[in-house]
Amino acid sequence: MKRYESRKRPSAWQAQRAGLRHSWLVPLAAIEWAFDWLAFLLSRWAFLEVLDYLGSFSILVAVIFYFSESGDRLKQKHYQAWQVINTAQGKGGSGGRIEALQELDEDGVPLVGVDVSGSFLQGIRLPKARLLRADLNSVDARNSDFRQGDFTDANLHSGNFRNSNFSGANLLGADLGGADFCSARLDGAVLDGASLDAADLGNTNLSHVKWQNIKSIKGANISQVRNPPEGFIQWAMQHGAVTTDSQSDCR
């Protein structure tokens, strides 16, 4: 904040002019002398100091209001994100849903029951997202990040999740039937009660996967699965799994 202190009274014009050595400096000196007097007079005007204080106070008030309304702005941001998701429901393409879903997830908003079926979400990043009972039926989410996400009772039927990361994800009771997990990561994932009928697990990483209570795996392709837990291959074959070439090279 500026402090308006009284300036020293300028000297008289005669004294100012007498100190000049060259006559061509007179106009410049006259301008300087006039501004010295103006600054002197303004420095004695308390009104300017009051205006400065008021300006600083208004900035303080604006800062207080900005932070006090931060919650409302966050709610508005979330409302707009949900509006994008709901407006695009049932439509193909992205429709801005990738950015909207990622924003909500980054802010810790649960995505429980969200319907993005048939959408294009390739490369989406939703680590640790809460997607319980979400509908991802026939979604294209190749090369995506769903690490440690919660997909309890979610519908991932016929989704394309090639090269996606489900490491440590909870897929309890999820419908994975017909889904493409070719070259995906399911290491450490929980598959209790999950249905994997006709799913493509070719070249999928199954290290430490919780598989003992899988609901069904009939027709699932387990060709060249990586790091299968002990006993998994034998159990899967006994329950209808097959080893066939995937539609394209999973490697």
Look at residue 24 and tell me whether its pLDDT is greater than 80.
no
The arithmetic mean of pLDDT across residues 229-244, rounded, is: 95
Say what the pLDDT of residue 106 is: 94
Q: Please indicate, yes or no, if residue 148 is contained in any of the structural domains.
A: yes
Q: What is the DSSP string of the chain?
A: ----PPPPPPPPHHHHHHT-SSGGGHHHHHHHHHHHHHHHHHHT-HHHHHHHHHHHHHHHHHHHHHHHTHHHHHHHHHHHHHHHHHHTTT-SS-TTHHHHHHHHHHTT---TT-B-TT-B-TT-B-TT-B-TT-B-TT-B-TT-B-TT-B-TT-B-TT-B-TT-B-TT-B-TT-B-TT-B-TT-B-TT-B-TT-B-TT-B-TT-B-TT-B-TT-SB-TT-B-TT-BSPPTTHHHHHHHTT-B----SS---
Give yes or no: residues 63 and 87 share one domain.
no
Count up the domains in the chain and report the number.
Answer: 2
Give yes or no: residues 158 and 214 share one domain.
yes
Look at residue 176 and tell me whether its pLDDT is greater than 70.
yes
Give yes or no: residues 242 and 172 share one domain.
yes
- Which residue has better confidence, 218 or 59? 218
Give yes or no: residues 62 and 129 share one domain.
no
Give yes or no: residues 57 and 103 share one domain.
no
The arithmetic mean of pLDDT across residues 213-240, rounded, is: 96
Look at residue 71 and tell me whether its pLDDT is greater than 60.
no
Give yes or no: residues 156 and 237 share one domain.
yes
Say what the pLDDT of residue 171 is: 98
Say what the pLDDT of residue 128 is: 95
Q: Where is average pLDDT lowest: 19-28, 100-109, 194-203?
A: 19-28
Say what the pLDDT of residue 6 is: 58
Give yes or no: residues 124 and 229 share one domain.
yes
Residue 138 lies in domain: 83-246
Give yes or no: residues 54 and 136 share one domain.
no
- Which residue has better confidence, 44 or 156? 156
pLDDT band at 172 (very low <50, low <70, confident <90, very high): very high
Q: Where is average pLDDT lowest: 65-69, 150-154, 168-172, 178-182?
A: 65-69
Give yes or no: residues 32 and 147 share one domain.
no
Q: Please indicate, yes or no, if residue 76 is contained in any of the structural domains.
A: no
Look at residue 243 and tell me whether its pLDDT is greater than 60.
yes
What is the value of pTM for the model shown?
Answer: 0.71
Give yes or no: residues 43 and 88 share one domain.
no
Of all residues in the chain, the percent with pLDDT exceeding 70 is 71
Q: Where is average pLDDT lowest: 45-54, 207-216, 240-249?
A: 45-54
Give yes or no: residues 129 and 215 share one domain.
yes
